[in-house]
Amino acid sequence: MHIVSQRDQERKRGKRYRSISFHREIKKEKRGKMREIVSIHLGQAGIQVGNSCWELYCLEHGIQPDGLMPNNTSNDSFGTFFSEGRRGKYVPRAVYLDLEPMVIDEVRTGSYRKLFNPNQLISGKEDAANNFARGHYTVGREFIDQCVDRVRKLADNCSNLQGFMVFNAVGGGTGSGLGSLLLERLSNEYGKTLKLGFTIFPSPKVSTAVVEPYNAVLATHSMIEHTDIVVQLDNEAIYDICRKGLRLEKPSYRNLNRLISQTISSLTTSLRFNGSMNVDISEFQTNLVPFPRIHFMLSSYAPVVSSSRAYHELNSVPEITNAVFDPSNMMAKCDPRKGKYMACCLMYRGDIAPKDVNTSVGSIKTKKTVQFVDWCPTGFKCGINYQAPTFVPGGDLAKVKRAVCMISNNTAVSEVFSRIDHKFDTMFAKRAFVHWYLGEGMEEGEFSEAREDLAALEKDYEEVVQDGQQEEEY
């Protein structure tokens, strides 16, 4: 009798060990399937866009501001942006970097203070003072090793790192100077890993600093070499979208950032949720970038409707598809009708049928206002995801069943560069404000080198259109 009970105990113990090892294997398998992204938020603009993004991600995955998930499901979709910590707490895979403490202090004391790992909120004591050279050479140089170490730790903890998302503005000193320095370091350490930039460029009329053209030209020079895709954003263009779509007389930065966050969320839904046509983030690069230097994109999102107007709008698939091609919905101030499309990525989400997508894309191809270069006959990359857009409580955007985000490569983006270059030339002809940069260890030759690189980039965009026209003549 005693022997039988002992055998039973051994059998039970064996079963327990087998079940434990089986669950471990499942966890390992799930980790292998995860596709992680590390987000890097630089300077005031990058951090404020980041705050809106993490607010939205938390709502999409059912994570509370303290990092806990009350309705814990077996679904591991959160793994793209969040890592699982102790006691069921979820921590963003994000690093916040700023040379002055004020903006990050707002995060440290705000409603999401318990969400972030304090080690990933890194602030200095001295501002870059709208000076690229301070962010890149003097103040930023002392700060950069600490930043890279923290990014490296996050990247090393990923089982299948998809890429880095870098959020910054190139008009300020931290976003341009420290941003360029960090991208150079990431390029050296993670050369093959995708670096996707969401960059706020100076607006044509709205300006926050006199020296914006200098910072923008110097930072763009670095981005040409050290990023794989840059999505151009522009406060003035997004102001106009908010005024027109949401009927807001005086949109705030929070209104703008919430719209940007919906666009960024739509790009990554395929990594996180199920769909009939999923698009991996590396597929953007393959389909959108025909030549390495030509990787500056336009973005648009639809529908942009307020809660009061939502019940009067149909928001059908053809309607929202037409809306993202409307020049007034582009998030950078340039007219795509003046240029030609090289490629378009349409990311649909929500209640979408593939048949409707094919019909809508077919009708867009027949429009004369949407012109493609002759050497790219296909032009469209489509993704469909079943996860509907998430409504932000207290936000301006209405709750909708379906939405689409478009990232497109259009030759009209050279308008943005030529506008900045013109302002740069006007100031640099008089060497106005240059002494502030030289005093921080920069050389005057770096200005000329950066400006020549942007002139070459403008020329590249011209040649892309001319190649097709020359072939037609022959």
**Which of the residues 84, 236, 283, 319 is marked catalytic?**
283
Pairing of strands 94-98, 90-92: unpaired
d(CA 472, CA 474): 5
| Reduced DSSP (H G I as helix, E B as strand, rest coil) percent helix, strand, coil of the chain, to 5 | 55, 15, 30
Beta bridge partners of 297: 231
Task: Report pLDDT for 377.
Answer: 80
Q: Please, how many CA atoms are within 13 Å of residue 209, restricted to the half-sphere of its CB?
A: 21
Please return the burial class of 108, using the count of CB atoms within 10 Å of its CB with bins 0-12, 13-18 and 19+.
middle
Mean pLDDT for each 10-residue chunk of the chain (474 residues)?
54 50 40 78 97 95 91 74 87 96 96 95 94 95 95 94 95 96 96 95 89 97 96 95 91 94 92 80 89 96 86 86 95 94 94 93 91 88 92 89 95 95 96 96 95 96 76 49
Pairing of strands 194-200, 229-233: parallel
Question: How many CB atoms neighbour CB 49 within 10 A?
Answer: 24
Residues listed for the chain: 474
Task: Report pLDDT for 27.
Answer: 40
Helices (H) and strands (E) in the chain, counts: 16, 12
List strands edge to edge, sheet with 380-385: 121-123, 94-98, 36-42, 161-169, 194-200, 229-233, 296-302, 402-410, 341-350, 380-385
**Whether residue 471 lies in the annotated active site:** no
Give me the torsion for CA of 411, 38, 260, 367, rounded to 10°: 40
Q: Which of 266, 207, 306 shows the shortest CA–CA distance to 57?
A: 266
Q: Which of 67, 154, 168 shows the shortest CA–CA distance to 113?
A: 67
Task: Report pLDDT for 18.
Answer: 46
Three-state DSSP class for residue 433: coil
Three-state DSSP class for residue 385: strand
